[in-house]
Structure 1
Amino acid sequence: MLRRLLPALMLFVPLLAQAACTRTLRVPYEDWRPYSFMADGRHTGLETELLAAVAREAGCRVTYVREVPRNRRLPMLLAGELDLLVAATPNRADAAWYTRPYRDEVLGVFMRAEEARLDVRSLDELLRARRRLVTHRGPASVPIINDFAARGLLTWFEEYGRGVQLMQRGRGDVLLGDSVAIVFAARAVDMPLIELPITLLRDPVTYKLSRRSLTEADLRAFNRAIQRLEASGELQSIRARWLGVAPKR
């Protein structure tokens, strides 16, 4: 009897996975190339494809919420008005759940190809040489950025296309930020940049789930989905495809 039941029970495993999520996941949309953007009327990008694969494996549906200011995303998640944030670094102080990691976040330091100094091993050397730093507001936690600012050697940008444009116009000597986003933006406009051998940050990032709107079962479903997709190589395949491609604008 047991042997006859096992095949029948196996048929229900995919159905159970499909029922894993307790609700459609509300995720804020962001134009953040190459992670999330619109191309030919379609929402695409590295983060978009990774989340689609994980959600599908976990039995979840995703809907993107537009026009959510960046500074409102965390309060909305904590209030249960959003369900998931991507590319999160675990913080024990947050009243949220964090999944297992699904990719790495890397901060890099770049210079124009014709000026790159590959013998430089630290930002401190560039500061002493009075090189102007151009950086995204995201990595402001790197302490030495404040030293560049104190000496009047700092220019901020909000989006990576603008950061590369500032380098093209000679408005900065050193570009610091998310390595993938910088490479993508530079390739899109044929701007030759060289990454310097300076180690700043390489951290795994996770999905951040709302405790107000989701359940621990949702968290477990996401963790199992990430684990299965890493084992099958699907997440690695998505990462590799996007890390080597930068379409023209």
Structure 2
Amino acid sequence: MSSLFQRLCCFTFVLACILAPQVAHAQDRTLRMAYEEFDPYSFTDENGQARGLSVDLFRHIAEAAGYSADFVKAENPGDALDMLNAGAAELTSLLALTPARLDRGLATDPLGAFESRAFALRRSGRRTVEDLAGARVGVVRGSYALATAGAIPFVQLVEFAQTDDMVVPLLSGEIDAVVSAGDSFRARLRAMEVSDAVHSVTPALAVSPYGFVIAPERADVQAAFNAAIAADLSQAQLATLRRLWFGSDRRLTETPLFWAILGGRSAS
């Protein structure tokens, strides 16, 4: 009897050790997203609040899955992944779902795709990737661009803390080009009213689907998020959010050059 009692106690202890983390996860309905300054995907506004496409998508999906959302700052995507593995966050913001990142966490179903592109000054005459051979190229530390910029022959990489830090060095000639997600960098150039001075070179360097990366022990969150994405997030909603955060390129009639030419013709 004593031996049977000891075996039962041992079994109960082992079962409790297995179930305890799952019970704790089930009781904790708040998820922390580690986000970096990557406007308009994610950024901190003037009131210290997290904002951006990643933030809106995270809130929408988390709510649909029965969770509340919280946000913690990360220095860059690599730091966000470190925070997952250290238990400081449960998810990253939207990241390119590369094999290296999938080795460190679980991915949601894709929610879009990053098109990695190189940008140069229009006056530089650089139009193709080959034109950038040997160039000094800015990338964000720990980002997807760090890998894709390697497609430029003999590239000299210059790392920055965040996307906005690269704009002035590009305009001043401190660096020859920038590699970043095409849609986000165009949006930042438009917001800074310098989009007329910069263009993207061809072709795109790479295209990768993106999604949220989840802490490897939180398969429950992955399943809940994928179910919510399938049931509660339509392509129309995604398109609306993208228009909200990324805007659109200026029309011809909104460019200073158009009105300068028109004014010259009117005077003649």
Structure 1 or 2, whichever has the larger Rg, is: 2
Aligned residue in 1 for 2:188: 185
Change (3 A) 1:21 1:188: farther
Letter in 2 for 1:74: L
Letter in 2 for 1:202: V
| Identical aligned residues as a percent | 24
Aligned residue in 2 for 1:56: 63
Letter in 1 for 2:243: A
Change (3 A) 1:172 1:183: same
Aligned residue in 2 for 1:91: 99
Change (3 A) 1:39 1:169: same
Letter in 1 for 2:212: Y
Matched, 1:124 2:130: yes
Secondary structure of 1:233's match? helix
Matched, 1:43 2:50: yes
- CA contact under 8 A between 2:116 and 2:206: conserved in structure 1? yes
Aligned residue in 2 for 1:238: 241
Aligned residue in 2 for 1:100: 109
Given the alignment, which residue of 95, 108, 124 partners 1:115?
124
- Uncovered stretches (5+) of structure 1, i.e. residues with no partner: 1-19
Q: CA deviation at 1:61?
A: 0.8
Higher relative contact order (CA 8 A, sep 6+): 1
Q: CA deviation at 1:39?
A: 2.6
Q: CA deviation at 1:48?
A: 0.9
Aligned residue in 1 for 2:34: 28
* 1:199-235 CA-partner distances (Å, limit 9, x unpaired): 21111112122233x343x322211211234436212
Letter in 1 for 2:138: V
The 2-side partners of 1:109 and 1:167 are apart by 12
Q: Which has the higher helix share?
A: 2
- CA contact under 8 A between 1:136 and 1:160: conserved in structure 2? yes
After superposition, the CA RMSD in angstroms is: 2.9
Q: CA deviation at 1:26?
A: 1.5
Letter in 2 for 1:24: T
Change (3 A) 1:90 1:167: closer
Secondary structure of 2:175's match? coil
- CA contact under 8 A between 2:105 and 2:215: conserved in structure 1? yes
- CA contact under 8 A between 2:34 and 2:93: conserved in structure 1? no
The 2-side partners of 1:239 and 1:220 are apart by 25
Aligned residue in 1 for 2:139: 135
Change (3 A) 1:21 1:106: farther
**Equivalent residue pairs, number:** 216
Aligned residue in 1 for 2:210: 205
- CA contact under 8 A between 1:134 and 1:157: conserved in structure 2? yes
- CA contact under 8 A between 1:26 and 1:62: conserved in structure 2? yes
What TM-score, normalized to structure 2? 0.69
Q: Where does 1:223-234 land on structure 2 (aligned, <5 Å)? A: 223-231=226-234, 233-234=236-237
Q: CA deviation at 1:69?
A: 7.2
Q: CA deviation at 1:189?
A: 2.2
Letter in 1 for 2:93: V
Given the alignment, which residue of 194, 200, 214 partners 2:199?
194
The 1-side partners of 2:211 and 2:27 are apart by 18
- CA contact under 8 A between 1:21 and 1:60: conserved in structure 2? no
